[in-house]
Amino acid sequence: MAAIPTAQIGDEELVASAQKGDRRAFEELVERHKQKAYRIAFDFARDREEAKDLSQEAFLKAFTHISRFDGRSGFYTWFYRILVNVCLDYRRRAKRAPAEEYNETVEHQVEPSHVPANPVAPDQHAIAGQLSRKIGAALDTLPAKQRMAFILKNHQGLSIREIAETMETAEGTVKVHLHRAVTALRQSLAEFA
């Protein structure tokens, strides 16, 4: 009987195999979720290398603690939780870094990887760059949990319930985080609205 290709196996089955020591099963989980994990980490860190390190760190923690996954939530919710905590820890460490380093990192690391259909005029490109830096700075001023709730809702499209489960908090708390984050961003970025 031919082996079922891993691509056709569900996450829960892959996790069960990984819990029994099947490395390839966990590597398949990484392949399935790496882009999503990277995007969340990038939204948080706004630096390509940091985002790669953060998402890989989250995968490593998931691998090390895979035996603790009990299946009560989906694998990705459980993994999201690990990723969120890794990003929040990063934020606590990065708080000590001066703001100038952050802006410089964003400017040098965020490069468009595709050529747009209608090339942007140089002045508009400069404005877009300025906006990107301004957005980055505005997001950076948000407290870590507000920022995370905002990223998970605004950028990743998770529901309030899913965010509450991921951040291990009440739905009401998530709504408050979201409201405060949006209010703060609107004040910071009002000139670009």
| Contact set with another protein (CB under 8 A) | 23, 26-27, 30-31, 34-35, 38-39, 42-43, 46, 48, 51-52, 56, 59-60, 63-64, 110, 112-114, 127, 131-132, 135-136, 138-139, 150, 153-155, 159-160, 175-176, 178-179, 182-183, 185-186, 189-193
Question: What is the smallest separation between the CB atom of 152 and another protein, expressed in angstroms?
Answer: 11
Q: How far apart are CA 31 and CA 124, in angstroms?
A: 36
Task: Pull the structure tokens for residue 87.
Answer: 């990003």
Question: What is the smallest separation between the CB atom of 1 and another protein, expressed in angstroms?
Answer: 28
Q: How far apart are CA 90 and CA 46, in angstroms?
A: 12
Question: What is the smallest separation between the CB atom of 10 and another protein, expressed in angstroms?
Answer: 21
Task: Pull the structure tokens for residue 132.
Answer: 């990107």
Contacts of 180 (CB under 8 A, 6+ apart): 146
Q: Which is nearer to another protein, 72 or 116 (CB)?
A: 116
Q: Which is nearer to another protein, 84 or 164 (CB)?
A: 164
> How many residues are given for the chain?
193
Task: Pull the structure tokens for residue 174.
Answer: 């998530």
Q: Which is nearer to another protein, 73 or 132 (CB)?
A: 132
Helix, coil or strand: residue 193: coil
Question: What is the smallest separation between the CB atom of 116 and another protein, expressed in angstroms?
Answer: 11
Q: Which is nearer to another protein, 88 or 138 (CB)?
A: 138
Q: How far apart are CA 29 and CA 134, in angstroms?
A: 35
